Amino acid sequence: MLLVEDEDGYADELGEYLQNHGLTSTRISRLDRLCDTVQQIAPRVVALDQFVHGVDALVLLPQLRAVFAGGIVLLTGNSDQTDRVVGLELGADDFIVKTQPPREILARLRAVIRRSAAMPAPDIAAPAQPAESEDGPRWRIDLERRALFAPDGTPVHLTSTEFELLAFLSPRIGRPASRAELYDAILRRAPTGPEDRAIDNLVSRVRAALAPFLHAHNPIRSMRGIGYVFVGLDVATDQS
């Protein structure tokens, strides 16, 4: 197992408990070594602290999942449901609050290892291709006509700015976009201050426009302290 944790006390206590119960761990305390270490030691599971030296590890989940087919468990002191949902959407297999008893953490790590071992290994050497959906028609963004079509061909009404937001986010699936980045790319200005909610309101309008077609799925997730991440509509882009 690979443990990614910057708190020495917690890492030592958890590592010792796991070791005493038959689960040996290697520990690192920096996110910049994560993918390289995973490829070097090939652990069965990665237990990843959500915040390492102040950096939200959610932003690295897509890169980690691209090179690692084993189990990924996020450890956090944060009980926010939105973060848990985003983490699972981005490739984590479980999300464990650190205050859980070590016995439960061990049991859930073992469960993730069992599930990962039972799954056929995906081909992670080749980049993912935007293949046609196996489940039928896909959402379609027509960049020339600046139009969005639901899988059944129904046009989805979006204002020009709402369309620009979706067109900007859709190629960036799994990659967070900061509010500052969205202000610059979509509104062509900087935020006027903390009370400026223009981007948040824009995201809310896009969610509302898509909601009738999505059966409670939220494709644009909030990331606390960062911005937003697009988790997917199975979108095909038409530039013709």
Q: What is the pLDDT of residue 122?
A: 45
Please tell me the predicted confidence (pLDDT) of residue 98.
92
Total-model pTM: 0.56
Identify the CA nearest to 69 among candidates 134, 33, 117, 129: 117
Return the beta strands (E) in 43-137 as ranges.
45-49, 51-52, 55-56, 71-76, 94-97
**Structural domains of the chain ordered from first start:** 2-118 (3.40.50.2300), 139-238 (1.10.10.10)
Q: In this predicted structure, what is the pLDDT of residue 128?
A: 35
60 within 8 A of 31, measured Cβ to Cβ: yes
Position 5 scores a pLDDT of: 95
pLDDT at position 59? 79
Q: In this predicted structure, what is the pLDDT of residue 236? A: 55
pLDDT the model gives residue 239 = 58
Which residues have a Cβ under 8 Å from the Cβ of 219 and sit 6 or more positions away?
207, 210, 230, 231, 232, 233
What whole-number distance in Å separates Cα of residue 58 and Cα of residue 60?
Answer: 5
d(C-alpha 77, C-alpha 97), whole Å: 6
Q: What is the pLDDT of residue 130?
A: 36
pLDDT score of 57: 86
Tell me what pLDDT residue 131 has.
35
Taking the chain (240 residues) in runs of 10, the rounded mean pLDDT of each run is 95 94 93 90 93 84 82 85 75 89 94 74 40 60 84 87 89 86 90 88 90 82 86 62
